Each structure stands twice: as structure tokens, then as C-alpha cells.
Structure 1
Amino acid sequence: MTESHEPGNAHSARAQPAARKRSRTVAICAFVLITVAGLVLAVSCGDSSGGGDEHGAQRADGSSRPHSSPTPRKIWNREPDSLAAVGDSITRGFDACSLLADCTEVSWATGTAPGVDSLARRLLGDPEGTSWNYAASGAVMADLPGQMRRAAARKPDLVTVMSGANDACRSTTGRMTPVADFRTDFRAGLRALRGDAPEAQVYVSSVPNLKRLWQEGRKSPIGQRVWGLGICQSMLKDPQSMAAADRERRQEVQDRVVAYNTVLKQECAKDLRCRYDNGAVFDYRFTEAELSNWDWFHPSKKGQRSLAELAYEEITARRPTERG
């Protein structure tokens, strides 16, 4: 029985070295495969990252991948030395001092009256000789290119634009300036300025909230009678009526003003030296004391001062104010 086990023991003795050899061979092969797989994986990962030079991935030397050209930054000097104003009757101080008359000395932009403390006084100290007012009562956006050319001839550091209210203030809503035309006219105005004054900064005020002015001014019996003479009938006609047709008419004007302001924001954003007020004037809630005692619609001297404060804050801010 003992000898019968010897052949088996001899076979086992011979088999063990062979098994160990096979194990070493398998281990070596596995090591090689793992190493090769690792190299393949490394190469594959390198390819997927784009190979820094071709696709801009982080390079092995730590340098950053190339990027597309950054968006040009706005250029803005918060301390201009000269100023030209363009726009409509608001910038002319219309009905702020007397009935149906301009009063530029109280203009929010270029006025000299201490009580208003205009933008020009705040920025320049003495506005004489360094500020000019080319706004015109009754002007619409189509008049902007001509006003801009006159302003550009002065080579001002800053041009203020407050225009668009008269494009919405028409005899009927059907006569309001179409939004596409408004955009074309504003673009033409900027081009006209850039033709002769390429480095002038432009500050663009939003169109005032005409519906808010109606809400405030309709409280005055005198204002209602004056409005009946034909002021901004698209908004102010039948000021006490709450009929559906009148509410719809006022909302149509409101929507048009909002669309105008969207145009101003979009087009101004394309110009490196243009800053839009982001709705500061539109959002401002004018009080009764800030409206003209003559027509209850245009800004009074106090209202002009408020406009000057808004503009000064926006122009001297490090960055444009963000509003909802």
C-alpha cells in the first residue's frame, strides 16, 4: 500500500515546480498586460484631453490652454471734462419755469441754477464753456442723428441722451414710432456721433414711465384741463376714464415704452463707450411735487434735480447698476 503511493508522490513532486513556473508566467503576463493597458489608457486619456496644442487642454508644463478672444471691456471715464446734451423737452427744462417755454438754466443735464445742481455742475463744477445743450422740445428719435452731429463738433468727453418719450406721446397710438424705426434711428444717432467724436462717451437715459406720470398727474383738476389741450393724447386722453378701451390704450403705450427701452439697452451694449441707465429713469416714481405746475407732466425744478441725481449716480458708478 505504501509503494502504491510513491508514484503519486513522485508525480506531485514533479508537478509542483511546473505549477510554480506556470504561476510565475501568468503573473509576468498579467504584469505586462497591466503595464501596457496603463500606457494605452494614459495615451488614450491624453488624446481625449485634446493634446493641449490642438484642443486647448491643460498642458503638462502647467500652462493654460488657449482661449477664444475675451469680450472687449467697456471703456468709461467717471470724471469727464466736458458734456453735450441731446434729446427732447425734458432736457430743455420745458414748463419747469413758465408755461409753454424752455428753461435750460434748470435742465437736469446742463443747467446752471444752483437749486437744480445739474449733471454738468456736479461733474464739471462750472459748466460755462464746457457744456452744451442741443436738445429740442418736441424732438423724436429720428432727430437724434442731427443732434449728435452738432454735439460731435464740440468733441465732448460725454454726451447725454434722453429721447423717446415723444415717440410714444402721439395723438393716437397708431402714430407711435414703430420699434424697428426707433432702433434704426438710435443706431444712426450713434454712428453720427462716432463719425466726428469716436472717443466720446454716451450716457443713455431710459424713456420715462408715461403711465406713472398719468397716474400721478391725473390727481390734479388743473392737470386734467391742461392735458385736454392735446398733451400726449396716446396716454393722457380721457385721464379719468377706466373704460376697457382706455385701459388698453394706456397699456399699449406702456408696452411701447418698454420696447423702446429694450432697444436702448441692446444697442448701447454694442458700443464700448456707451452706458445705459438700466431703467433708472423709467423706474423712478415721480411725485406730484416733481411734476410741472404748468402741465403736470414735464419735470418741475425738483423733478429736474432728481433726474440730475440719477444720472450722476449712474455716470460716476464703477459699474452700471443692475436692475431687475
Structure 2
Amino acid sequence: MKFMLIFWGAFLFFFCVPFPIFIYMASEELATEPRNSLAVSYGYLGFSLLLWLYILGFFINNLFIKTFKERNTIYSILKNGIPRDAKITRYQLVKYLPKTNMNIIQVVLSFPNLRNTMIEHEMMFHDSKPQEKRYDVGNNVKVLLNPNVSKEPYFILNDQKVGFNASGVILRIVFIVLLIAYVIGLYYYFYMRESFDFGWRFLTFMHPIIFSGVMILIYMLVFQLIVGKFFKNKKEERILFAGRNAEANIINVSQTGLTVNDQPELMFQVSFKDFKGNEHIAVYKKIVSLLNLSSVPKQGTIEILYDENDPKKIMIPKIF
């Protein structure tokens, strides 16, 4: 995992930083006259500044602001969280860390959500006292639910500790400083090299000052798309922790044609009545393992959770 992160980090760094500069320097001849009119050149300059400000804001928000907000949310949950007794239904040792005598474990917890509907949730964390076997299957642990489901995390363990990884914070600061230095260096170097007393009239869309930022922006958007689609579905988690349960009649189950890691995506069309007695028809898509495909019900009824403010939004909490 660490190797893959380093590989893809180096890959993205090459295509976002030296690659646009190399392509430009190899293909463009040094122009001693303006390439654009004054209006067009200042348009490109304004676009590049907005582009780099957005990129810097994105990284500062994700690396620092979100982290501090999540820490504050955890403090709020520790103070005002809704307590629940959770039962451990599955336990898996992911990795043992001999230097700290800690286990990285993955457990499935079963507990009532904010609407007192029993749910199951999988989580991974560090067990600092593995010798106590607190998280063996069948044991109960205390959890605190976040009463505000518009903020993450949606729940924490009752004895969860909050802190910052000093080395991680330093690396984030170094990254932001290097990014700012790179951007300033781009503007300074190419202005001194190509302005020839004509100001910014050497700028074009393929110039590294702009194209390097465009490449970074594309990778940012692709990363967000992949993470949002395959790794974390916030809307679904909000329904899991705050949704009401209902027994739904299965209208149709079919494959969408999409596969993720060779696992098919199924589309469930169901009808159900909400707690007010109103009937709804909703659609839900779920990736199902090939090993569990035969156990997926095709007719009859199935337990669902729905958003009481928008009953068209549902999820099927049962793990097939």
C-alpha cells in the first residue's frame, strides 16, 4: 500500500510539475515579441491566478481546515454525543505494530442509530491495549453518536482519544510551502525569461504557468470523483445513522452493467410505506460480491433505511 502511494504520488508529480515545463521548453521557441494582445494576456493572467488560488485553497482546506473541523466535531461528540451500547459482531486483525505493541483492527459494530433502528457499521482503528481483548466478537463497547448528521464523523468510540500526528502535520506544512514556492517560482522565472518589457503578453493556455495548474486541477477532480463514487458515500452514511427503517416490497432486481473489481452492481427497485403511511417507490444501487450474488433476494420483502425528509433516498443496510 505504501509503495503504491509513493508510486502514484511520483507519477502525478511528474505529469503536473516537470512534464508541462519540459513539453513547453522543447516545443516553443523563445519569442521576443508579444504572443497576445494586452486584453488576452491579462485574461490568461487572471485565469492562472484564480486557478492557483483554487488549488492552494483546496489543499489548505483538505490538509488543515477539515482536520481541525473534524477534531472540533469529535470534541463536541465527546461532550454532547448520544450514548449507545454496541455489540462486536466481527473482528479482524489487520496488522500488528511491534514497536508500539498496538494492533490495527477492523470490527463490525451493531447498535441502534439515532432513530433507534439497529444498524451495522464497519470501522478500522488502532487497539492500544490488545492484551485486554476488548474487541473480541460478542463483547460490548460504548459508542457516542453525533446528533448533527451533517458533520463527520457520525459516531466515535466512547474512549476515543483526540490528537495530532506531529510528523504528519509537519509534512503537510512542508507540502504547502513547496507548492507556494513552486507557483511563485513559475511566475518569476518565466516573467524574467520571456517578458522582454512587454509584461505578461507571452502567456498562452499551454504555457506552464497555466497548463501545470490545469493538470493538477484535472487530477484533483478525478481523485474526488473516484473517492466519492467508490470509497465513501456520505449520503448513504447519513441515512445509515439517521434513517428510519421500513419493510419494502421488491419490485425488480437487475444488473446495471457496471462492475467494480469484477463485482457487479445491482439495482433494486422497491416500494414501501413511510412512518406516516405514505407509499413510495425508490431505487437503490449496490455493489455485490460474486460470492454473495446467489443470496440476494429477487422477490418478497427486504429491510431498508430511508431519509424521512426525502423518502426517495434509501439504502439497504444488510451486507450480502
Which range, TM-score by smaller chain?
under 0.3
Query: Normalized per residue, which structure has more strand?
Result: 2
TM-score using structure 2 length:
0.23
Could you say which structure has the larger radius of gyration?
1
Query: Normalized per residue, which structure has more helix?
Result: 1
TM-score using structure 1 length:
0.23
